[in-house]
Amino acid sequence: MLKEHNILEIIELKKYFPVRRSFFSGLEKTSYVLAVNGINFELKPDEFSGLAGESGSGKTTTGELIVRLLEPTSGKILLNGENIAKLRKEHLKRFRKKVQMIFQDPYGTLDPRFNVYHTIEEPLIIYGVKDPKTRLKQIKETLELVELRPPEEYFARFPHELSGGERQRVAIARAIILKPRIIIADEPISMLDISIRAGILNLLNKLRKSLGVAIIYISHNLSTIRNFCDRTAIMYLGEVVEIGSTDEIMENPLHPYTKLLLSSIPVADPNYNRKRIKDYGEIPDQISVYQGCKFAPRCKEKIKICDKKTPTQMKVSREHFVSCHLIRENFKN
């Protein structure tokens, strides 16, 4: 049952990809890449939530599972109490009106044959808005919301005639035209010029407040997460290792992996003396099931149990959770 104050709840969500083998190894037991391996987190209405981690941590796969671009291997995705992990056909179509995704590459996700007007109009047609005047009105209002003004000047333009920032604003307009409850923003600024990144994030934050939409912001950039997100979940090799309010995660990181990520953030002040944490060791194979903590091979703080048993999530404060044997042992003492 979904908790009353949450719009979305992820419960033991898993996604395993089978590994392709040659014909001659067909009789061998099938192996799987454990892309997402039993994660749990919640999202409140109109919350700006961050999902962070290195490349290959499972962030994007998690986002694609939530919007049902991928079929979950197991687990629950509760949207207003309904498990959308098993939806099909018309039920799935109705769900997709409520949850939209903004992708990393706006040029790759916009049809080059469609101008701006047709790009934003298409979702309205699919979802049965038949009156052309109503569609025109909604398209104008939406382009105004994403700060493409005057909207009429953009109607006839094609993706190749727009700047990177304009293309991403069109992609955002397409995502919000159906008034969704949740937006998954997957690295929405990583392919944009650094001078316009803050503008796109400020726009998302403005839309979050004005439209009452919840946002899951997927990024490896902890600097932007720190400035915009209410809560943050840290992912490592398909698992959430730490989650809590962004302020607490940034000011009081507990998991060694979180500390490693934070120590790698560039600091503009040359006189700022911050201890850098050196990474060492090898990342475990994601194909085989690792018996201990997956971060143990790279962790200088590990203890004996780290190589033998997978840590379970423990609560360290009201909304701060961490999966680490070392923290559990420290709390005992």
pLDDT of residue 142: 98
Query: 296 is written with which tokens?
Result: 């143990």
Whether 271 has a pLDDT exceeding 60, the answer reads no
Report, as an integer, the average pLDDT of 178-199: 94
Average pLDDT estimate for 102-112:
92
Residue 193 has pLDDT above 80, yes or no: yes
pLDDT of residue 287: 79
pTM for the predicted model, two decimal places: 0.92
132 pLDDT higher than 90: yes
Mean pLDDT of the chain: 91
Q: What is the mean pLDDT of residues 325-330?
A: 88
Domains, the chain: 8-98+180-266+275-332 (3.40.50.300), 107-179 (no CATH)
Question: What is the percent of the chain where pLDDT is above 90?
Answer: 75
pLDDT score at 25: 56
DSSP state letters, 4-17: TT-SEEEEEEEEEE
Bond into 253 cis (ω within 30):
no
For 206-231, what is each residue's pLDDT tens digit?
A: 999 999 999 999 999 899 999 999 99
Instruction: Give SS3 for 293.
Output: coil
Which residues in the chain belong to E strands, given as ranges?
8-18, 32-43, 48-52, 74-79, 82-83, 99-102, 182-186, 214-219, 231-236, 239-245, 314-315, 321-322
pLDDT band at 131 (very low <50, low <70, confident <90, very high): very high
Least reliable range by pLDDT among 16-25, 58-67, 79-88, 276-285? 16-25
How many Å apart are CA 134 and CA 111, to the nearest integer? 23
